[in-house]
Amino acid sequence: MCTTKRNTLSSMSSAISVRLDQEALRALAQLESTGLTRSEAIRRAILDSVEQLHRRAAVAAEAAALEADEDDRQEMLEVAEFMESMRAPG
């Protein structure tokens, strides 16, 4: 009797095809010049883009929360008035 133990990875990578214009090809070449493989450069660019989207969304949410905070808005006005009162004449 022969027994074989196999582990199957559930997160197999997927191959995709993409058409790049000249600008994207130049950008990819720059990434590759850092020592990244073409696949690593593309994966890194995708992940970095998603991270940037998340950061932008977090900043937008924080700005919206501050905008809705009446106490914070009042304090900002008070600080602005104080700073204006400290301005040199003329």
Q: Count structural domains, the chain.
A: 1
- Has residue 65 been placed in a domain? yes
Distance, CA of 73 to CA of 64 (rounded, Å): 12
Other beta carbons less than 10 A from residue 78's beta carbon: 10
CA quadruple 30, 34, 36, 37: dihedral, nearest 10: 50
Domain that holds residue 58: 23-85
Distance, CA of 53 to CA of 13 (rounded, Å): 23
Higher pLDDT, 55 or 11: 55
pLDDT band at residue 7 using 50, 70 and 90 as cut-offs: low
- Has residue 60 been placed in a domain? yes
Reported as a single tens digit per residue, the pLDDT across 14-52 is 888 999 999 999 999 999 999 999 999 999 999 999 999
What would the mean pLDDT of 7-18 be, rounded to a whole number? 73
Distance, CA of 21 to CA of 4 (rounded, Å): 48
- Has residue 9 been placed in a domain? no
- Has residue 54 been placed in a domain? yes
Q: Which pLDDT belongs to residue 3? A: 61
- Has residue 7 been placed in a domain? no
pTM of the model: 0.61
| Cα angle, residue 63 at apex, residues 83 and 72 outer, rounded to 5° | 45
- Has residue 5 been placed in a domain? no
- Has residue 51 been placed in a domain? yes
Q: What is the DSSP letter of 35?
A: T
pLDDT band at residue 54 using 50, 70 and 90 as cut-offs: very high
